[in-house]
Amino acid sequence: MDIMVDAAPQAPAVRHQMRFEGSGGEYFKIWIVNLALSIVTLGIFSAWAKVRSKRYFYGNTYIGEHNFDYHADPIRILIGRAIAFVALLSYSLASTFAPLLAALLAIGFFFAMPWLVNAALRFNARNSSYRNIRFNFVGAYGDAFRVYIGWAFLLGLTLFTTYPLAKRARIRFNIDNHRFGGQPFNVEITGRALYSIYAIGLVIFLGFVIGATVIAGALGTIAGASVGTAAKSTGMGAFSIWHILILVLFAFIPLVLVPFVGTKVFNLAASGTTLAERFHFESSLSPLYMTWLAFSNLLLMLVTLGLFYPWARVRTTRYTSSHFAVTGDADIGSFTSELVAAQGAIGEEVANFFDVDIGF
């Protein structure tokens, strides 16, 4: 006779909310010192400035009761920037005095770009940690070449109609090759979902173009009717006013389109990501509110001549953190304890010599 054995009850999922505890006033003190010292040192201190800023934001970003850490050595960042500066300077000089050499350098940069992308992603991942466990990035050169170079060629051949698929390839490459304590991240995202998002973006774009053209045309006609006789004879008054108006109106397109579409893509990618098949990520950012944040931050920075930047960055980080969470079938503390026990000495590795950060 068969004996029926009830399966052990599955532990309820635990939701870990991310939060940011920094403030604009605190970050302003760091930012203003960073800015002053970077100017005084002709940009050399900017490497230290980047590390100080990242450590502040990482250190004030929490999941549960623990915060993130950033461990990068500013010297490594300075070396990466020096390499980028020398490369760009060499190409500029070669373009002027040795066109053939410039062509060879351009070819070299073309093939080096996937390696640079991998090196920068590895550098950032390996210098980031949570509960003393390092992240990592294991992307291969061939995969980076396919994603960043191969898809770029395909976009040209398909007149950018495959852009959502190219975006999905980059998202997969970036997320699937990240590790946390040796455990893999994985993202599931469909091309149909991305096409839907970019279709909405296209409708918004066309709506803005048509609306801006109609409004600018109407205002330009009114302005043209009120210009003096001399301006009317040449047509320059109305012509100039019309172009200024349409440029101003068109400037609003990226202010609305970029954060709106970017937020929807981020929500889709984040909510489709898992870690070690035990934790699921979720993002519930509002595209409309993110658009308002981007617009209001820009407006306030213009009004304050850039001094509002620290508060703009903090308010954006606080909002995005408050709408991001990790849900798992076990307490995150026990999971990280397992990783600490498993990684051993490997966890002490920071970054390879050839991993650099060339970002400014």
If asked whether residues 201 and 266 sit together in one domain, one would say: yes
124 belongs to a structural domain: no
Last residue of a domain, one of 227, 248, 271: 271
Last residue of a domain, one of 241, 271, 301: 271
pLDDT by residue (tens digit) across 260-286?
999 999 999 999 999 998 999 999 999
Whether the pLDDT of residue 44 is over 70: the answer is yes
- Token pair of 173 as six digits: 């490459």
pLDDT by residue (tens digit) across 117-145?
999 899 999 999 999 999 999 999 999 99
Quote the CA–CA distance of 185 and 175 in Å, as a whole number.
Answer: 6
The answer to whether 260 touches 291, Cβ cutoff 8 Å, is: yes
If asked whether residues 291 and 241 sit together in one domain, one would say: no
92 belongs to a structural domain: no
If asked whether residues 206 and 257 sit together in one domain, one would say: yes
- pTM for this structure? 0.85
- Token pair of 114 as six digits: 């996937």
107 belongs to a structural domain: no
If asked whether residues 255 and 310 sit together in one domain, one would say: no
179 belongs to a structural domain: no
Q: What is the DSSP string of 178-206?
A: EEETTEEEEE---HHHHHHHHHHHHHHHH
Last residue of a domain, one of 235, 255, 271: 271
What range defines the domain where residue 216 resides?
190-271
Quote the CA–CA distance of 332 and 16 in Å, as a whole number.
Answer: 8
Query: What angle in degrees, to the nearest 10, is found between the helix axes of 74-97 and 46-59?
Result: 140
If asked whether residues 247 and 312 sit together in one domain, one would say: no
247 belongs to a structural domain: yes
CB-CB neighbours of 263 under 10 Å: 23
Whether the pLDDT of residue 350 is over 50: the answer is no
Query: How confident is the model over 294-313, as a mean pLDDT?
Result: 96
If asked whether residues 284 and 316 sit together in one domain, one would say: yes
207 belongs to a structural domain: yes
If asked whether residues 241 and 293 sit together in one domain, one would say: no
- The per-residue pLDDT of the chain, averaged, comes to 85
If asked whether residues 256 and 299 sit together in one domain, one would say: no
If asked whether residues 203 and 255 sit together in one domain, one would say: yes
Q: What is the tally of structural domains in the chain?
A: 2
172 belongs to a structural domain: no
28 belongs to a structural domain: yes
State residue 352's pLDDT score. Answer: 43
If asked whether residues 253 and 237 sit together in one domain, one would say: yes
If asked whether residues 286 and 260 sit together in one domain, one would say: no
Query: How confident is the model over 72-94, as a mean pLDDT?
Result: 90
If asked whether residues 243 and 292 sit together in one domain, one would say: no
The candidate with the shortest Cα–Cα distance to 228, out of 238, 218, 220, is 238
